[in-house]
Amino acid sequence: MSNSHPTGAPVQALAFPSDTLLSVRNLQTHFLSREGTVKAVDGVTFDVKQGEILGIAGESGCGKSVTSQSIMRILPKHAKIVGGEILYNHQGQIIDLTAGDPDSRVIRDIRGKEIAMIFQEPMSAFSPVHTIGNQIIETIRIHQPVSKEEARGQAIEMLHRVGMPNPGRNIDQYTFNLSGGMRQRAMVALALSCRPKLLIADEPTTAVDVTIQAQILRLLREIQADLGMAIIMITHDLGVIAELTDRVLIMYLGKEVEYGSVEHVFHRPKHPYTRGLLASIPKMVPGRIEIEPIEGSVPSPYAMPTGCKFHPRCHDFIPGVCEVRDPPLIPIAPDHEVSCYLYGGREARP
């Protein structure tokens, strides 16, 4: 049963935990091309609670960024959400973000104001022909009834808050005049300018050096605690996940394979892929660095294996089981789920 928001976006009249801000349920996002269909996100489910930090990790191409683009409704033209729900708690009303038009008023009101995003590369996120200040000021004025002077004051204050040196002067700079660290801080300031309830950070430390990485992570943690916002941290860096997040979702080829608290997933990993990721972290031993890579390679997105997508690379492969059908997500402990036939679920296969 559902009713409608005045702007036309559907509102789901269903039970929704009061501490949950976002609930992604069986999300399926496909890319359509002449070569075939790529199931970039193929049935992902997770929740984001008020004020928590959720990490999404996995190899490049696992669907992390497409998941975030689906939530923001900023997918490329040849991509489409073909199934599932993205339920968002908007001012006490539960809205399915997948059902409304990406350009509808309610989606535009939420995007940038209540749900904001830090992109992987600031140079592609900012316009090169406008100053960073103009772009932050425009964002503030779109979502808040303030004058240009008031918006400029808010933009300078936010730039100061994120550690931009001399914000009163650098607000009038173009991105090509700023260093990588300063551009990243400007990107954070832009995303936080309207004090969002949910911040999606897509590989926010990839384009900067190690020193700036530490500064950005510390900054995000401080601002998250100050504003009480929730964060989805998308990264392939398990060290970032371990340091910053409360819970973690491990993805492989568009599917979730393990989901739970950082303590459970990092200290008691269950899925063979999660164990492989953790084992592949470089280790310092006397005289050398040891790396234990995951055997095999990621298959072509146009020729996905049947059954569990990881089974061709898995040491624990069970013939006649793993290649037949995707394993269900099974709870194995409080706040810990895994998608693997090693832990049950074989009775669900055909």
Does position 130 have pLDDT exceeding 70, yes or no? yes
pLDDT of residue 9: 52
Does position 11 have pLDDT exceeding 70, yes or no? no
- Angstrom distances, CA of residue 22 to CA of 35, 85, 259, 321: 34, 10, 16, 34
Question: Given CA atoms 253, 254, 255, 259 in this order, what sign does their dihedral have?
Answer: positive
pLDDT of residue 284: 76
d(CA 62, CA 118): 19
Mean pLDDT of the chain: 88
Each residue's pLDDT tens digit, 44-101: 999 999 999 999 999 888 999 999 999 999 999 999 999 999 999 987 889 999 987 8
Phi, psi of 262 (to 5 degrees): -60, -40
DSSP conformation class of 8 = S
β-strand 36-49 against 20-33: which pairing, if any? antiparallel
Mind giving me the DSSP string for 43-95? Answer: EEEEEEETT-EEEEE-STTSSHHHHHHHHHT---TTEEEEEEEEEEEETTEEE
329-340 average pLDDT score: 94
d(CA 257, CA 151): 44
**Tokens 């669907």 correspond to what residue?**
63
Does position 10 have pLDDT exceeding 60, yes or no? no
More confident residue, 121 or 324: 324
- Classified as helix, coil or strand, 301 is coil
Question: With bands split at pLDDT 50, 70 and 90, how would you rate the model's confidence at 1?
Answer: very low
More confident residue, 17 or 171: 171
Indicate the pTM of the whole model: 0.89
Asked if 151 and 141 touch (Cβ cutoff 8 Å), the reply is: yes
Q: Tell me the domain boundaries of the chain.
A: 255-348
Question: With bands split at pLDDT 50, 70 and 90, how would you rate the model's confidence at 349?
Answer: very low
Each residue's pLDDT tens digit, 254-278: 999 999 999 999 999 999 999 999 9
Mind giving me the DSSP string for 193-234? Answer: TT--SEEEEESTTTTS-HHHHHHHHHHHHHHHHHH--EEEEE
131-152 average pLDDT score: 93
Question: With bands split at pLDDT 50, 70 and 90, how would you rate the model's confidence at 114?
Answer: very high
